[in-house]
Amino acid sequence: MPAEIKVPTLGESVSSATIARWLKQPGESVAADEAVVELETDKVSVEVSAPVAGKLGPHEVAEGDEVEVGALLSVVEEGAGSSPAPAATAPKETGGVQPPRATSGPVARPATPPADVQREAARAEVAPLPAAAKMMTENKVAAADIGAGTGKDGRITKGDVISFLERPATPAAKPAPAASGPRSDDPREERVKMTRLRKTIANRLKDAQNTAAILTTFNEIDMSAAMKLRADYKEQFEKAHNGARLGFMSIFVRACVAALKQFPAVNAEINGDDIIYRNFVHMGIAVGGSNGLVVPVLRDADRMSFPEIESAIASFGKRARDGQLKLEELAGGTFSITNGGIYGSLMSTPILNPPQSAILGMHKIQDRPIAVNGQVVIRPMMYVALSYDHRIIDGKEAVSFLVRVKESVEDPRRLLLGL
């Protein structure tokens, strides 16, 4: 009996994914545990492997399709496979139905309507995806209220329903209608479909701007003491802690932890008419991945040591580049840090990562003249920015929080002494 390849459990609150790309074609040989298809969720990409060795059967879904957890993707016929099956072009040439014959790849399916017919049918009646339909029924939401969905052929997804339910109670202005008629592309342009991850990032950032009262406060930090500490103990630190490298991020994480304990509203979130205060810190660290920016979470960062923080961040960075981060590692953050300085950014205003209420932006270290004790000196300076939700955090708290971070980084001994 063929071994089925199905959509695996994707993590808490994730019920669907998009077929990003097929890594193996029908008729190709696959080894046990060899990746055959890549799925893209709202947060990360996931590779699904063959359960047994053999020959891959037909693709049950196409690239770009949205699939639910447990949906059948393909099957594997146990035994020796073959080279990739040639494209089934004969039906297109003859226009007739081929007689049954043995083949290592899929044959044309005459019963399937042409793509243009399918699109017309989809436009005539576009049903929400199952998970979305269930949520709409539970919340008494009509498809007309939501409008066109973001799924394939305009189908309403669960994310569309969640976004609709999270909209403010006051009526929001409707988006401007698209320009009439299709856009005329220049021959020198290239049109690429937006990935699911990129769409999710775009929607979340826009939702943050629409929902939160975002304000940013700035300060600058003299990095002299932190740089000297790193230079003095870099080699000893690496030898003592199994190759973990001493960087500035662990200093900033510990500085933020100390400031969050002093100003708990910065670590809180708004939930309906309530404010949720936390007695722990789950620190999100923004890292660049193969498919865009992701924010893995240092859980209980307030209990972590310098070497534990550096080791965890190094692991996050490597696995983000390899696309190996797990869904659960990206959820549950209470405060985030993003470092645009590694790309050369001198100053920016970071956007909140909902439902968090604040995010710290680090930037490039640059030698600048500053006044110290009445003298102009050159010091390595970094601009830092704190973007925060003014609905829950007052300006005084935000400014004081950033000053507390500045004091800790400029004199790291304060972190060791708990001052």
Query: Is 390 an active-site residue?
Result: yes
For residues 244-264, one letter each, b for 16 or more C-beta atoms within 10 angstroms of the residue's C-beta and e for the rest, the string is: bbbbbbbbbbbbbbbbbeebe
Q: 293, 286 in Cβ contact below 8 A?
A: yes
> Catalytic residue among 274, 282, 394, 411, which?
394
E strands, 34-192, where?
35-40, 45-49, 54-56, 66-68, 72-78
> Catalytic residue among 145, 274, 390, 411, which?
390
Q: 262, 404 in Cβ contact below 8 A?
A: yes
Q: 385, 401 in Cβ contact below 8 A?
A: no
State the Cα torsion 80-83-87-93 to the nearest 10°. -90
Give the integer Cα–Cα distance in Å for 4 and 54.
12
- Closest-CA residue to 358 (of 398, 396, 318): 398
> What is the pairing mode between strands 3-6 and 35-40?
unpaired
> How far from chain centre, in Å, is Cα 327?
9
Amino acid, res. 202: A
Give the integer Cα–Cα distance in Å for 46 and 326.
9
Q: Phi first, then psi: give them for residue 60, nearest 5 degrees.
A: -80, -20
Residues 6+ apart with CB under 8 A from 145: 164
Give the integer Cα–Cα distance in Å for 155 and 118.
14
Query: Is 394 an active-site residue?
Result: yes
Dihedral sign from CA coordinates of 184, 188, 194, 199: negative
Residues 6+ apart with CB under 8 A from 132: 149, 155, 156, 157, 158, 160, 161
**Tokens coding 321:** 């580049």
Q: Phi first, then psi: give them for residue 181, nearest 5 degrees.
A: 80, 155
User: Active-site residue numbers?
Assistant: 390, 394
